[in-house]
Amino acid sequence: MLTPAEYRRFNRVRWTIFAVLVVSYMMVYFHRMAPGVVAADLMRDFAISGAALGSLAAMYYYVYTAMQIPAGVLADTFGPRISAGIGSLVAGAGSILFGLAPDFATASAGRLLVGLGVSVVFVGLMRSNTVWFSERRYGMVSGLTLLLGNLGSILAAGPLAAALGFFSWRSVFVGAGVASLGLAGLTFWRVRSRPEDAGFPPVNTTDQGPARRHWWQEMKSVLANRAAWPGFWVNFGVTGSLFAFAGLWGVPLMRDVHGLDRGTASLYTTAALAGFALGSFLMGSLSDRIGRRKPVILGAGVLSCASWLALMFLPWGPGLSGYALYALLGLTAGGFVVTYAAAKEVVPPANAGMAIALVNTGLFLGAAIMQPLFGWVADLSWDGTLVDGARVYPWTGYRNGLAVSAGFAALAVIGALFLRETHCRNRSLPGDG
């Protein structure tokens, strides 16, 4: 039992750790969403098609997807301090390389390094949350994590578009790389992987179970747990399609179809990302309050699918209707945050990082497939129009891309139907099955 003075120190330490890792996570979102704002610059400077642009942006997602299970293993074995610190170092180097790239191949290599580095930050942060905060607060803390992290994606929309009026896109990414290197140093200095490493007793005594097996055996047990997989498909469909759209195609749609300039068009993706941040916090808190996971996740999936269909069929345009639909798309996708809580509650607590990584893999696999797929569908309707060297697509191409996005969201709804309700308690423990 901590004394009042010890508890104040404990709170100061854990919120400092949370703050450092959340700022690193903001950089993750910045790198994820920024290509949508500089899409025209990339197409012009590297003379590429929509499909190639999608592949360049998705390079981040390819390696991020492949790294999610290893990220869970790293977080569970070496701890968030080591995994997130090294990740920020690699991401910083990749962002600098991307900003200085003389050609498409070098830019792709830089983007791949960024994805490799940031791939371990989020899982490390969520793993840190499992040991520094109690289970009854995990949904709320997860929502707060996504709310704050999404500030990075908001910075990658309107503010980035404004900054590009003064700096080149290359300078922005070099600067972001330098910032990531600084965050790596801060992580090694201030972050501690467990309360015990800072001289405190464990927060969740369930983490103090029997001696663990080799990480390979633990990982196989997580992958073999059918109750952990529905969240994978929820994230694949709902969040993967949102990230593909907000991170790349949302700005070009407003530019090509509605004639908006880049700065104004980016405000719509800002609305989507702000809605996503708010939805993550509200739905995480709602899940904790009602003591249920499945209704929140399923409801969010249904509403997300409806939002894509609304973009396809409702009469809308620049102004209030456009802002409302973009914001609704992000708000409904915010229910994905509850999948992390649901996943960690069906595996032993020591394997929480691997379970979180599993459902997170679905998110980035969905985005990795959706970004170039959207571009490929748009290329099919391209009539040869170019503006300043960048392709301009008609509404037909974007509408077909939105239809594919709606299909992804429908797949998420099917996945949500198979979720196991945990009632916000770990169901792997004796007596909780």
Domain count, the chain: 1
For residue 201, being part of any structural domain is answered with no
Residue 175: per-residue pLDDT: 92
Q: What is the CA radius of gyration of the chain?
A: 21
Residue 206: per-residue pLDDT: 54
Residue 238: per-residue pLDDT: 94
For residue 424, being part of any structural domain is answered with no
For residue 208, being part of any structural domain is answered with no
At 146, which CATH number? 1.20.1250.20
Parent domain of 143: 4-194+215-417
For residue 94, being part of any structural domain is answered with yes
Cα–Cα distance for residue pair 383/402, rounded to 1 Å: 19
Handedness of CA 233, 55, 115, 274 (dihedral sign): negative
For residue 309, being part of any structural domain is answered with yes
> In Å, what is the CA distance from 377 to each residue of 58, 75, 277, 382, 390?
15, 38, 29, 9, 16
For residue 432, being part of any structural domain is answered with no
Residue closest to 303 by CA, chosen among 403, 412, 230, 400:
412
Mean pLDDT by 10 residues, the chain (433 residues): 84 92 89 79 84 81 82 84 93 94 91 90 86 78 81 74 86 92 94 86 62 69 88 94 88 92 86 88 86 92 96 94 95 89 84 82 87 89 82 92 95 93 74 45
24-39 pLDDT, tens digit each: 999 888 887 787 778 8
Cα–Cα distance for residue pair 315/297, rounded to 1 Å: 28
Q: Which two tokens stand for residue 427?
A: 């169901």
309-322 pLDDT, tens digit each: 999 999 999 999 99
For residue 425, being part of any structural domain is answered with no
For residue 200, being part of any structural domain is answered with no
Q: Could you tell me if 378 and 393 are in contact, meaning their C-beta atoms sit under 8 angstroms apart?
A: yes
